[in-house]
Amino acid sequence: MPRFAANLSLLFTELPFLDRFAAAADAGFQGVEYLFPYDWPASSLAEKLQQHHLTQVLFNLPPGDWQAGERGIACLPDRVEEFREGVFQALEYAEVLDCPRMNCLAGIRPESLPADVAFQTLVENLRFAADLLAAKGMTLTVEAINSKVDMPGFFVDTSLAAMTVIEAAGRENIRFQFDLYHMQIMEGDLCRSLSRLCPHIGHIQFADNPGRHEPGTGEIHFDRVFAHLDALDYQGWVSAEYRPQQDTETSLGWFRPRIN
């Protein structure tokens, strides 16, 4: 059975953020992730993790101005200094939270920015971040996010784009973040892709499609996909990153028979 984690930015949103840790633990999760930790003192988050015996499995590097619509700055040549500062900030959090991996959001490429410049900027930023993380034994992930529905213009929107940039960066501790929801929208053929990419995958997330709700609300055959991950002997975390169709409690039917 995969090791399942709960994404606290999307699940348990009926509760204030700091109360979601207890709710995730009570529901049977042993790991949690969320978009960003930066609005809270690291010590408060660490206390919640310890109190509820939870592992922090992932969070994102600072994304630029999220409220203004930015979705990462790693491909933007005029933001390299800010990117680097963000890596240092993220590392401070990761150490306090004992979190072994962070995701680097490539960002939305402005039409005026040539693709080759965005690519080279991203490669150099990934190397910078990966080298700092490697010194602490941490992994950096690169997620492909669908550009059809959720993030038009996102620079890394296919597994090929992600693997191309990961290979160009050439660092052992950079891995692919395979989000089943985004990959279903962009490529489909999930089990074959998982087989092909498994050695490069550092983290998995999921939601059903369409709607980005819980398993069973859409077209993905989760029983097959989760069984396939077991057959591949995938050892990483698999995070529920979906918006409950009604409420979180009702959405957890897929999880109850699978509590580790």
Ligand X SMILES: O=C(O)C(=O)[C@@H](O)CO
Q: Which residues are identified as catalytic?
A: 143, 241
Closer residue to ligand X (CB): 21 or 59: 59
**Size of the chain, expressed as the number of residues it contains:** 260
Q: Judged by CB under 5 A, which stretch of 65-73, 91-99, 215-223, 235-243 contacts Mg ion? A: 235-243
> Residues 148-187: x/- map of binding to Mg ion (CB under 5 A)?
-------------------------------x--------
Cβ neighbors of 247 (< 8 A, separation 6 or more) are: 14
157 binds, among Mg ion, ligand X, none (CB under 5 to 8 A by kind): none
- Of 133 and 207, which has the nearer Cβ to Mg ion? 207
Q: Which is nearer to Mg ion, 157 or 179 (CB)?
A: 179
User: Within 13 Å, how many C-alpha atoms sit on residue 134's CB side?
Assistant: 12
Q: At closest approach, how far in Å is the CB of 151 from ligand X?
A: 7
Contact at 8 Å (CB) between 101 and 202?
Answer: yes
Radius of gyration of the chain (CA): 17
Cα distance between residue 219 and residue 206, in whole Å: 13
Coil/strand/helix, residue 43? helix
User: Which residues from 45-104 bind Mg ion, rule CB under 5 A?
Assistant: none
Three-state secondary structure call for residue 52 = coil
Q: Which is nearer to ligand X, 3 or 203 (CB)?
A: 203
Q: Which of 8, 140, 142, 145 binds ligand X (CB under 6 A)?
A: 145
Task: Please tell me the distance from the alpha carbon of residue 182 to that of residue 256, in angstroms, as a whole number.
Answer: 24
Contact string 228-247 vs ligand X (x = CB under 6 A): -------------x------
What the block records as the tokens of 58 is 């992932």
**125 belongs to the binding site for Mg ion (CB under 5 A):** no
Dist. CA 43–CA 207, nearest whole Å:
30
Residues 6+ apart with CB under 8 A from 148: 185, 186
Q: Is 208 in the site for ligand X (CB under 6 A)?
A: no
- Give 130's strand partners: none
Binding mask 177-196 for ligand X (x = CB under 6 A): --x--x--------------
For ligand X, the binding residues (CB under 6 A) are 35, 60, 105, 143, 145, 179, 182, 205, 241
